[in-house]
Structure 1
Amino acid sequence: MQLSDLVDLKALLVIALIFIPLEQLVPHHEEQKTLRRHWLNDVFYLLFNGIVIKIGLLSVVALMMVGLGYIVPGSVGAAVRSQPIWLQTIEVIILADIGFYLAHRTFHAVPFLWRFHAVHHSIEEMDWLAGHRVHPVDQILTKSASYLPLFALGFSPAAIVIYAVIYQWQSVLVHSNTRIGFGPLKWIFASPKFHHWHHANERQAYDKNFAGQLPFLDVIGGTLYMPDRMPSKYGTDDPVPQLYHEQLAYPFVAGKPLDDVSLPSAIGETQK
């Protein structure tokens, strides 16, 4: 096990020690148990997805950077890195979330890609573990869309690391079973309420709230949905199995023809 893996496990332990009590103190669904249904399945994702995603992400970004290296002048990176770290960090968050928004929306719009993303939407009880249930292919491609412009433009490693830490913590928060709100800042920073509606199995919420961190991107894209109440039902109508190994195979398995798989709700068939 490498040092980076140990650091990741330590960070996950700290996150668990914070969010498990927090979900007990300010829960959205008070009846939900700490060890909710299929929690062990999501622990498998937490423990085993990381290394696959890291290798895939580095491979995709490295491959695409070979081509971008001939397109983006070195002077661009020098100019970007000459900015203060705080300014770079703001730019990194905005650029990365634009990439995330576009990739996320594409995974909802393209039927074959949806089969990967449906694994994440199969969660029916939201909590701090829910954000880890993501198919590796989904995560690799979505993260590549976020990180590629950052590396291509030559942002400082420090700014990228700061963004990565913020993303990790916010991802856990927005999936958590909490009623934490950000007041008027909810239109700027993604909250549990914002992202819970993305997972809601209610027709009005289908294909909404694609941003990872910045809800105003959904305002611009016309995809924001955040009523005063919180959703009561989560999940998808797609026939996603509930075991880790079956979910990894789900997008590839033979059986239903692709045309018979539930299409995006924009076409009016099922929740995404």
Structure 2
Amino acid sequence: MSSLFAYSLAQLIYAARSLVEPLPFFVLLAALTKGRAIFRDVRATLSEARIAILILVSEALLFAPILVASAILIERLFAWVPWRDFWTGWPLWAVALVGVLVGDFAGYWRHRLEHSELLWPSHAIHHSDTAMTWLAIFRFHPINRLSTVFLDGAAIAVLGLPPYAIIANSAVRHFYGAFIHADLPWTYGHLGRIFVSPAMHRWHHAKDKAAFNTNYATVFSMIDIIFGTYRVPGPCDVPLGVSDDMGSGFIGQYVYPFRPRSYAPVRRARRRKITG
């Protein structure tokens, strides 16, 4: 019992640090870009932020062991790859960059799969945020977390990349992912065709038919350009969220993927797209 308590306490501390440590940066960023409007926006985002925090805490307490075990399983499944020594002698920065590139490429296709009928209900909780801020990076259903660990992890593991490349991929895509979820109008200009901008990812979350099936990458927008899913008409100023009737509370959104009726919206959207 004492070890269980110690583990739970450690996970809560980790969750708290995940929230508190980036907070000064994003508060300063919001103050610089919004001015006095920050106080209005804080009031508007409190309920959405509460859901993100509850998800983070529940994940830390209940699902962290499953996620860690899944990552270990992926590593062991691909321990046989004979080309692990291929990366020996490469500059550290180059191997780390390969890790991020491969991770983002795999994440792009995994993200597209999450918008399919099979996985959308578990991904919808992330898109249900109507006042998206950097806290949306924590707003993922455990099923969604597992798909990320298995699909992204398998792509990196099969290449035999060393552990530091895997860590680099996780760190860069997590922290940059938090940044692009922030409420910022930046498009990056011409650089936006290389790197994902906050405006680009905000369009991905737009409650807009034209934004459906666009902007899946996390770091490199050129992946979306290559596969024809890039769309950034400018800063995103349209409403965010989903049309799914999943409820606004934490419990309703958490159980949403386990309800059969949750899979109907994607089927309807697919039929509308096919029939024009």
TM-score, shorter chain, exceeding 0.5: yes
* Whole-Å separation in 2 of the counterparts to 1:122 and 1:97: 23
Q: Given residue 34 of structure 1, which amino acid in structure 2 is its aligned partner?
A: V
Q: Quote how far apart the aligned CAs of 1:54 are.
A: 4.0
AA partner of residue 200 (structure 1): A
Q: How many residues align?
A: 263
The residue that corresponds to 2:58 in the other structure is 48
Q: 8 Å contact 1:181–1:193 — kept in the other structure? A: yes
Equivalent position SS for 2:216: coil
Q: 2:38 matched to 1:33? A: no
Name the CA shift for 1:183/1:4 in 2 (closer, same or farther; >3 Å): farther
Which letter maps to 2:193? W
State whether structure 2 residue 99 is matched by structure 1 residue 89: no
1:20–1:34: 8 Å Cα contact kept in structure 2?
no
From 95, 98, 101, the equivalent of 2:105 is: 98
So what's the TM-score if we normalise by structure 1?
0.85
- Aligned pair partner of 2:21 in 14, 25, 29: 14
Equivalences for 1:134-173 in 2 at 5 Å?
134-173=140-179
| 1:198-252 C-alpha deviation (Å, 9 max, x unpaired) | 0001111111001111111111111111112323211110112222222221110
Gaps of 5+ in 1: none
For structure 2, which runs of at least 5 residues remain unmatched after alignment? 1-5
For 2:68, the aligned partner's letter is L
* Counterpart-to-counterpart distance in 2, 1:120 and 1:7: 21
In structure 2, the CA distance between the partners of 1:257 and 1:20, relative to structure 1 (3 Å rule), is: closer
The correspondence of residues 138-217 of structure 1 with structure 2, limited to 5 A, is 138-217=144-223
Give a deviation string over 1:90-113, Cα, whole Å, max 9, x none: 11011111111111101112x131
Distance, in Å, in 1 between the alignment partners of 2:74 and 2:57 is: 28
> Are 2:65 and 1:58 equivalent residues in the alignment?
no
Tell me how large the CA RMSD over aligned residues is.
Answer: 2.6
Asked if structure 2 preserves the Cα contact closer than 8 Å seen for 1:20 and 1:128, the reply is no
Relative CO higher for 1 or 2, CA cutoff 8 Å, sep ≥ 6?
Answer: 1
Amino acid at match of 2:254: L
Q: 1:227 aligns with which of 233, 254, 264?
A: 233
* Residue of structure 1 equivalent to 2:3: none
Identity %, equivalent residues: 24
Provide the TM-score with structure 2 as the length reference.
0.84
